[in-house]
């Protein structure tokens, strides 16, 4: 994706602000920041999750990495539309099957087939429970079937929900850590339940020990 120079400046400013606000540290474990079609999938605790993952990528990769986000949220007002479309280059998904005009899996697959990467949040909704990770939606499996050669890279975001608690506007001074793990691909003839369980387990393996 080619940014205008104003868009590029604003995008860099948002990345810098996000890193300063959260004190984020990115740890690549068994993976490396390389160009090409990839799916970075992360746990979901706040609306800032994909912004932080995006901000931790090198600039040349950010320009070709597209967050997948809900059209209903990011299309609510001009500011959000500008941020989603012009700054983040988001793939906006209509989550309402009754009003949907495009197939979400085809939207995402088209981006990957064009050589770009995606950031997805397979829990589908913010996790406000005591569970470390909600069950994954089946979309991650259907995307893997549509693009079987694409790598799926787990990304665990630690502390962001505590840095920016729901309903609070002043961040809490805690360090946020992002751990990017080894990539995986769908296996030949792998069924939905097995692939979803395997991707979910790979993400949980990156989480720090409890207690």
pTM: 0.87
- What is the Cα–Cα distance from 63 to 52, expressed in whole angstroms? 14
- What is the Cα–Cα distance from 132 to 126, expressed in whole angstroms? 11
pLDDT-based confidence at residue 170 (cuts at 50, 70, 90): very low
**Mean pLDDT score across all residues of the chain:** 86
Q: Decide which of 125 and 102 is more confident.
A: 102
pLDDT of residue 1: 45
Q: Residue 151 phi/psi, 5° resolution? A: -80, 140
Strand intervals (E) in the chain: 25-28, 38-42, 65-70, 91-93, 117-120, 151-158, 177-180
Q: How many residues would you count in the chain?
A: 211
82-105 as b/e: b if 16+ CB within 10 A: ebbeebbbbbbbbeeeeeeeeebb
Condensed to tens digits (0 to 9), the pLDDT of residues 26-82 reads: 899 999 999 999 999 999 877 778 888 888 898 889 889 999 988 888 888 888 888
pLDDT of residue 13: 82
The bridge status of strand 177-180 relative to strand 117-120 is: unpaired
Query: In terms of Cα–Cα distance, which of 103, 96, 112, 101 is closest to 41?
Result: 112
Q: Decide which of 51 and 144 is more confident.
A: 144
27-65 as b/e: b if 16+ CB within 10 A: eeeebeeeeebbbbbbbbbbebbbbbbbbbbeeebbbbb
Q: Give the relative orientation of helices 192-204 and 139-146 as an angle to the nearest 10 degrees.
A: 110
């Amino acid at each position: 994706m080619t940014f205008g120079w104003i868009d590029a400046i604003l995008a860099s400013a948002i990345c810098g602000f996000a890193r300063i606000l959260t004190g984020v540290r990115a740890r690549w474990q068994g993976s490396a920041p390389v160009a090409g079609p990839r799916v970075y999938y992360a746990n979901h605790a706040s609306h800032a999750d994909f912004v932080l993952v995006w901000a931790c990528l090198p600039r040349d990769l950010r320009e070709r990495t597209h967050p997948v986000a809900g059209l209903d949220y990011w299309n609510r007002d001009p500011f959000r539309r500008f941020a989603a479309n012009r700054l983040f280059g988001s793939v906006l998904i209509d989550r309402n099957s009754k009003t949907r005009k495009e197939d979400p899996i085809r939207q995402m697959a088209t981006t990957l087939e064009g050589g770009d990467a995606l950031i997805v949040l397979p829990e589908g909704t913010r996790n406000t429970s005591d569970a470390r990770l909600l069950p994954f939606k089946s979309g991650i499996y259907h995307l893997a079937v549509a693009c079987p050669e694409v790598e799926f890279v787990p990304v665990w975001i630690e502390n962001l929900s505590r840095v920016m608690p729901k309903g609070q506007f002043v961040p809490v001074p805690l360090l946020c850590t992002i751990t990017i793990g080894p990539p995986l691909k769908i296996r030949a003839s792998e069924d939905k339940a097995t692939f979803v369980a395997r991707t979910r387990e790979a993400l949980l393996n990156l989480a720090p020990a409890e207690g």
